[in-house]
Amino acid sequence: MLSVVADVGGTNIRLAVCELETGQLTQVKEFPCAQFDGLEVAVKQYIDTLSEKVTDICIGIACPVDKDQVEMTNLSWSFSKQALKQSLQLNSLHLINDYTAISLAVPFLSDLEKIKIGGGEPIVDGVTAVFGPGTGLGVSHIIKQDHKWISLDGEGGHSSFTVNTREQADILFILQEKFGHVSAERILSGQGLVNIYESLCQIANQPAKFAQPKDVSQAGLNGHCEIARRSLEIFCQVMGGFAGNLALNLACTGGVYIAGGIVPRFADFFQASEFRHFFEDKGRFNAYLSTIPTYLITNDNPGLLGASVYLRQELGCKL
């Protein structure tokens, strides 16, 4: 009998077998979501490669999961939780938000799986915030209660983008003309980086040369385009302001963690950026925020790790 965990984002799906007693993940596989017509097809293809029957599955997925019918936010996949459980012939199926999964991984990260960026030492078992720019912008908080880790779900990525400089305000006005409401995700995501870049090109009255996030970041990092480099700088500024807001919302003395597929690609640039300045720049609460540590997660599969934590807790395993 096997237990499987999965991490489903807007771009890729990762799956692994979870050893319930130890939490060890084996047979880790990653596939582009575009390769499949839906989640069930992807999971069945993976299960077919295993030698034993799968009885329990936990899936972290990038969308709300409070209803039986699940509709992905940044992907066309749609399915019924109950129908999926029956089709896969499972004893239990657990659907959790992808940032519920990623947040639950945080207490189990080693020092080698995260980079500390400023602040003091975290308070043991203190409230912790986790967010991450990727295809979208995921947000979650975690608390510990009665020896169990609990993730506080939310859709913080769709809260309104808050500006902290005149330059950011100029970008906001341009994006408001295009989108109406401008969420934080419109800035802090792969497409968000492109939105910053295209806005800066419009302000400078120059044509945009790049349309993909990787092209903007590469041009900025190698010094080939000053506007692309400034886009990365503003991206880090906005991340700092957003992270500081999360820390204030729930007094995150356990720290604020950054996940997602984007920031680790320019980790050195990020560490040298104004992220931490904008994190702490909250007026009368500057000193308060200066004590709260921030971290960049470098673990390759925090979503799978967190899904395994959730599944093991639900099945009564000792962590």
- For 277-305, write each residue's pLDDT tens digit: 999 999 999 999 999 999 999 999 999 99
Residue-level pLDDT, tens digit, the chain, 319 residues: 899 999 998 889 999 999 999 999 999 999 999 999 999 999 999 999 999 999 999 999 988 899 999 999 778 999 999 999 999 999 999 999 888 999 999 999 999 999 999 999 999 999 999 999 988 898 999 999 988 999 998 889 999 999 999 999 999 999 999 999 999 999 999 999 999 999 999 999 999 999 999 999 999 999 999 999 999 999 999 999 999 999 999 999 999 999 988 999 999 999 999 999 999 999 999 999 999 999 999 999 999 999 999 999 999 998 8
Q: From the centroid of its chain, how far is CA 192? A: 14
What is the value of pTM for the model shown? 0.90
- Rounded to whole angstroms, how far apart are CA atoms 180 and 89? 45
Sorted by sequence, the CB contacts under 8 Å of residue 225 that are 6+ apart come out as 209, 210, 219
Fold type of domain 110-298 = Hexokinase; domain 1 (3.40.367)
Q: Where are the domains of the chain?
A: 2-104+301-314, 110-298
**Architecture in CATH of 2-104+301-314:** 2-Layer Sandwich (3.30)
Residue that has been written with the tokens 């510990």 in this structure: 144
Question: What is the token pair recorded at 170?
Answer: 């100029």
What is the per-residue pLDDT across 28-49, written as a single tens digit (0 to 9) for each? 999 999 999 999 999 999 999 9
